Amino acid sequence: MRSLHLLASAALLSVAVGAHADNSAKLVQTGNDNDATIDQTGLLNEATIRQNGTANIGSIFQGVITEENVASLVQIGSNEASIYQGDESYFSTANVYQQGTGNRAEVEQHWYTNELQISSVGDHNFISAIQNGYAQAEARQIGNGNSLVMTQDGFYNGNWTAVYQVGDENRASIEQGDGSDIQLAQNGNLNTATISQYNLFGEVVFSQTGDDNLLTVEQSGRSNGFRGSSTGNGNSVELVQWFDGNQASVVQSGDDNIAAINQLAGYNEARINQVGMANQASITQNAELMNAVISQTGTGNMATVTQQ
């Protein structure tokens, strides 16, 4: 009976809004204790909710002044999802797909040209995404207990973020400003990545494969770049880059390796390569136009480079 009521409401909503604009709404529910809400105003909106299972909750609300928004929400199992595409939003697109039990997704896309695709397959996964301006995002989670929190703000030059997590209890937190690009992959269990990037034309491309690895990145300025990978268990990477034109890379293969790079002036380059176990490497560069490379092979090596 609840499903019939919601389908009727969706049909009435589509007719009522269609009299003033080109909005459309579709809602299909199968199972027990489902709940769904569609609320659209503005021009050329389209919303689709399909829920198959028990105790699902889905909500789509597309702003006050909108144009060409599209929101889709598909859930199979006992999931909960919500999409909101803010006031005066123009070309937003959002898609959420969840399969499993206890998954949650929250999406907000505000004014400008946004696009988002997220999905979780498994149990008790969580995704929260807020985008402003010319931003794009893609996120995929497969496993149990994974979490992704993402904030993008790129009004002038745009952003692009892709996050892939496969395994259990991986954590990713991403904040980035104008004109930045992040690509993160975590494959394994209990991996953690925290990336803060508020710079123009910054880039982070990194992958963690294994268990219990840690990545922390902070970049500010212009045209900073960081690439690398960790393969193994219990590895740690920390990067801080300020000012303009810094480049860094870290490649780890093994267990319990630690790498830290701090570049606090412009146009520096730092690279760390670690193969083995329990190695430690640190590079600090506090003046411009510096270059440093550390390569470690074996067990228990320690190296520190400081240039200023």
β-bridge mates for residue 162, sequence order: 138, 183
Sequence letter at residue 231: T
Q: Which residue has the higher pLDDT, 279 or 117?
A: 279
Q: Is the pLDDT of residue 78 over 90?
A: no
Structure confidence at residue 155 (pLDDT): 65
Structure confidence at residue 6 (pLDDT): 38
The number of beta carbons lying within 10 Å of the beta carbon of residue 101 is 17
Cβ 62 vs Cβ 49: under 8 Å: no
Structure confidence at residue 13 (pLDDT): 36
Q: How do the domains of the chain map onto residue ranges?
A: 22-133, 180-307
Candidate from 22-26, 165-169, 206-210, 223-227 with smallest mean pLDDT: 22-26
Span 18-52, pLDDT tens digits? 333 467 777 777 777 777 777 777 777 887 777 78
Q: Is the pLDDT of residue 254 over 90?
A: yes
* Cα–Cα dist 25/44, whole Å: 11
- Indicate the pTM of the whole model: 0.84
**H or E element, residue 17:** helix 2-18
Structure confidence at residue 87 (pLDDT): 67
Cβ 100 vs Cβ 127: under 8 Å: no
Instruction: Fill in the DSSP letter of residue 88.
Output: T
Span 290-304, pLDDT tens digits? 999 999 999 999 999
- 306 burial via Cβ count (<10 Å: 0-12, 13-18, 19+): exposed
pLDDT tier at 286 (50, 70, 90 boundaries)? very high
- 32 burial via Cβ count (<10 Å: 0-12, 13-18, 19+): exposed
Q: Is the pLDDT of residue 221 over 90?
A: no
Structure confidence at residue 148 (pLDDT): 94
C-alpha atoms less than 13 angstroms from C-alpha of 287 in its C-beta half-sphere: 5
